[in-house]
Each structure stands twice: as structure tokens, then as C-alpha cells.
Amino acid sequence: MKIALVTGGSRGIGKAIAVRLGSDAYHVIVNYRTNESEARDTLERIRSAGGSGELLSFDVSNAQEVSRALDQWHDANPDKKISILVNNAGLARDNLMVFMSDQEWKDVMATNLDSFFFVTRHLLQNMLVGKWGRIVNIVSLSGQKGLPGQVNYSASKGAMIAATKSLAMEVGKKRVTVNAVAPGFIRTDMTKDLDEKQLSALVPLRRFGEPEEVAEVVSFLVSEGASYITGEIISVNGGMYS
């Protein structure tokens, strides 16, 4: 059984991805930082769907915590390897740049971009040695076209898009694929304060997406059926941008 780590798996898109991968018969490690109750709900949904999983708490933006948690997991499971990674953990601190604080910039870059580097670097060697791996980065429409009030968020996601393409070039010869999924307006806690009726008018499909629709794409990208796809950015935005 292949093992998948989903960062930020306690809520929203991360929860949907974790549940879907569990139903796909992967063993799912659900990462979370503080929201243990929601993480446990994710795990229960995985098990209710007939899958298997476990929880692993660490701060993805802290290099030492990432190394400690993943080293401890590997020490406790010496005969197992994490070969699927979904970098989903994300944070938004929206503000116009002229008013944006240093901390709003740093927090978003640390959670969205530094985490990609810390977690992926730690797991990459085993994927390369095993000559198989799947890395899927959850980016955003904001990283493709930009949105006002999201200079920090757009910068972090745009950087992840560029990193996805570069890393795919580095590791393809070892049968490790690296792709990104770029959601648009998805109905989650992050979008709950938006005017859905007004913004849906900007979407050709005239609605917000559901987290499960993003999870479907991730499910495909980590499968053997996607073995010849790498370095791609797949939009899930109802036709808003391509």
C-alpha cells in the first residue's frame, strides 16, 4: 500500500483530498498544526469510507518541526516510505500592499512557500532512491493571474508554480512526477466571507467549486494513469482563467 502525506489535511480542500486518497486505497497521513478535532474528523471520514490513515501534527513552516516529525515517523516505520506528497497547507492574510505589514507578508510566505521547500526536500530523497513518487502542489488562481489585496498570497502561489516546473525537470528521470492544481473560487472556510452570488457571475460555470472537485484532480495526478504528466498546472476554476 502506498503512503500519502497531505499537509493541512484537517479542513477544506485538504480534508477532501485526504478522504479521497483514503478511498483510493492509499494510507493517508493527515497533517495538521492545531485543529486536532477537525483532523480527527478527517481521519474518521477516511476510515468510514473504508480507508486507513493516521494523524501527524507539525508546523509545516518550521524546518526543525518538519524534520523532527518526519524523522520520528520514519524511525517508527522503518519498512515504510512516503511516496505521495500533497502540499496543501496554506494561509491568507489579505491586505492592500500599501497597508501590508511585514508580518502579513512573512506569515503567508512561510506557510505557503517555505513549507513546500521544507516538506518536499525531506521526502524527496526516498522517492528518488525508490524511483517512484508523486508530488502535487495546491496553488491558486491568484498565483496565475493575481488578485487585488493578495500580493503576498499571489507571490507565494506564483513561486510554487515556478518551483513545480523546475522540480519536475530535476526528478523526472527517477519516475517522480511534480504537478500543481490551481483552484479558483472553492466553497471552503477561506472563501466563506466572500460574496458568492456576486463572484459567481465572473465564473463561466456560474458557481463556486466544491473541495471534492479539486480532490478528483489530485486523485488522478497521483495515480499510475498520470505517469506521463509532470510539470503541469491544472486549473480547477470553472473557466475563469486558463
Which residues does the annotation mark as catalytic? 153
Tell me the C-alpha distance between 110 and 35, whole Å.
Answer: 19
> What is the per-residue DSSP string for 47-74?
HHTT-EEEEEE--TT-HHHHHHHHHHHH
Cα–Cα distance, 128 to 198 (Å, whole number): 46
CA dihedral 162→143→222→56, nearest 10 degrees, is 100
Phi-psi region of 12 (alpha: psi -120 to 50; beta: other; left: phi over 0): left
Instruction: Decide: 21 and 222 in contact? Cβ < 8 Å.
Output: yes
For 4, the 3-state DSSP assignment is strand
For the chain, how big is the Rg over CA atoms in Å?
17
Q: 18 and 28 in contact (C-beta within 8 Å)? A: yes
